[in-house]
Structure 1
Amino acid sequence: MTWVVIVSIVVVSALKILITCLPTPVVKWLVGKFELHRILNMDAEITVGGEEIKGAEKEELITNFNKGTFLKKYYIHPGSERYFLYPEGGEVPIIVDFIEGKKRVSLWLYVYRDHIDVVKQYSEKMIAYSIYSNELQSGMLAE
């Protein structure tokens, strides 16, 4: 009976040490699984009003998006997805398409004076959140 207690104490102690001292790559992988505002790379396709953006303007837009600060996440009620993709006001979104893992992802960016609304759409899911990027908001793509 005492052997069972001693073995269980050793196993639980080893498990506790393993969980509290995870290696850095494992922690980055776990955090990346739940990260909402991802860093874009230069492979992304960016279109504004049907025109594809290339060159220095694309690099500047991606750099400014990556520097953006996450503000808040919006809850999307089932059936109200179209109000996030096509908000009232009729402004032209910046659409960023890229591949994340094995999924094709689209970001719809709506630039306002005080924030940027981002609608992230992949497979059948849609997530909306707001970021702040002073450079992107005051840049030439802002209206």
Structure 2
Amino acid sequence: MTWALASSILIGFVFKMLMSPPSAVVAWGLSKFALHPHLDTKDVMITFNGKHLEEEEKDRFTDYFNKSNFLKKHDIFPGNEKLFLHPVTNVTPFVINVKNRKKEINFFVYSSDNHVDVVKQYKEKVFSYSLSSDYLQKFTM
């Protein structure tokens, strides 16, 4: 009798956790699949025109990147990924290389007058999206 009561309580607890997990678990799960992730300055290396940003500039750029607002995702159709990696513009991008544990992700950040375009490359996958950030648009070295 006690075995049945203990097992039903345990099954009830597991069922409750599956149906409404704690917000910390949900936030962690969503962050793993976020298109615009929160970057940690110790894991990133930022270059502009072949030059690495110094610690203070890197911290400032990463902070602006993290505080920027996501606008929209751009659709990339199979076959034209190379256009997004090397667009035909005269704008030199900021290149953010993120290395943590087994992952290596590259971000190409292009500033324009009214928004910031970001191209995210992870393995063979390429994603493109736009951000709104006055500070990134005006960032200078």
Give the distance between the partners of 1:86 and 1:137, measured in 2 at CA.
19
Give the distance between the partners of 1:139 and 1:90, measured in 2 at CA.
17
Number of matched pairs: 131
Deviations 1:84-133 (A, max 9, x none): 11222221110000125521110000111111111110111111111111
TM-score (norm 2): 0.83
Give the distance between the partners of 2:31 and 2:106, measured in 1 at CA.
18
Give the distance between the partners of 2:89 and 2:32, measured in 1 at CA.
34
**Superposed, which structure 2 residues align to 1:14-33 within 5 Å?**
14=12, 17-33=16-32
In the alignment, structure 1 segments of 5+ residues that lack a partner are 1-9
The secondary structure found in structure 2 opposite 1:87 is coil
Give the distance between the partners of 2:92 and 2:56, measured in 1 at CA.
21
The secondary structure found in structure 2 opposite 1:88 is coil
Deviations 1:41-65 (A, max 9, x none): 1121000011111122111111111
Give the distance between the partners of 2:139 and 2:25, measured in 1 at CA.
37
Matched, 1:69 2:69: yes
Give the distance between the partners of 1:18 and 1:60, measured in 2 at CA.
39
Aligned CA RMSD, in angstroms, stands at: 2.0
The secondary structure found in structure 1 opposite 2:39 is coil
Give the distance between the partners of 2:88 and 2:45, measured in 1 at CA.
25
